[in-house]
């Protein structure tokens, strides 16, 4: 599939409409696709069930705080050994690793239900990170590096398993 087709498919998957929007909810603009918004603000976004929030390998343009719904984090979905890393819910954050180290997304995120989240842009994140104590920032960046290495090592080992010879225990 071409890059333009991939982008069109993602836009179709990520249907952004408010669940039960109240007239006084000024944080949400009906039908707005916030994934490509580069403003330095927090935005409320909505993803419908099965929408791809971001794909493994995408640039990290934002982090998301889940307000409602459930999101599955998947690694290796485009390869031969996909793996479910986590299921996230209200209060959980996703997409933050790519903001810390400016590397591509290490996994994909897919809405398991309708999801409402608060989106923090890369610019807002970096502004806030700049005010962090340098020692604490160094510790956090070390942790991010370790998480990425562990996920990569896990997927490398998983790929080496010969599943065709595996016998189900009786």
Closest residue by Cα to residue 36 from 126, 105, 95, 119: 119
> Which domains does the chain possess?
7-17+27-161 (2.60.120.10)
Q: Residue 58 and residue 139: Cα distance in Å, rounded?
A: 25
With H, G, I as helix, E, B as strand and everything else as coil, classify residue 156: helix
**Could you give the C-alpha distances from 149 to 62, 106, 136, in angstroms and in order?**
21, 10, 20
Does the reported pTM lie above 0.75?
Answer: no
pLDDT of residue 40: 53
pLDDT of residue 166: 62
pLDDT of residue 165: 65
Find where tokens 């610019």 sit: 123
Q: Do 113 and 72 meet the contact criterion of CB atoms below 8 Å apart?
A: no
pLDDT of residue 8: 37
pLDDT of residue 88: 97
Tens digits of pLDDT across the chain (170 residues)? 444 434 334 433 444 444 444 433 333 333 334 444 444 579 999 999 999 999 999 999 999 999 999 999 998 877 777 789 899 999 999 999 889 888 899 999 999 999 999 999 999 999 988 999 999 989 988 998 898 888 778 777 777 766 566 666 66
């Amino acid at each position: 599939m071409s890059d333009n087709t991939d982008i069109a498919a993602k836009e179709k998957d990520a249907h952004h409409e408010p669940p039960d929007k109240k007239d006084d909810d000024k944080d949400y603009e009906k039908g707005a696709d916030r994934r490509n918004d580069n403003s330095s603000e927090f935005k409320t976004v909505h993803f419908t069930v099965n929408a791809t929030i971001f794909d493994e390998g995408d640039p990290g343009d934002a982090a998301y705080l889940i307000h409602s719904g459930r999101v599955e984090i998947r690694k290796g979905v485009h390869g031969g050994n996909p793996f479910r890393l986590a299921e996230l819910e209200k209060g959980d954050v996703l997409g933050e690793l790519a903001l810390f180290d400016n590397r591509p997304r290490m996994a994909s995120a897919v809405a398991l239900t309708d999801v409402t989240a608060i989106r923090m842009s890369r610019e807002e994140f970096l502004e806030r990170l700049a005010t962090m104590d340098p020692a604490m920032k160094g510790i956090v960046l070390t942790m991010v590096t370790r998480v990425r290495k562990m996920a990569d090592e896990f997927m490398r080992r998983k790929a080496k398993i010969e599943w065709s010879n595996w016998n189900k225990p009786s």
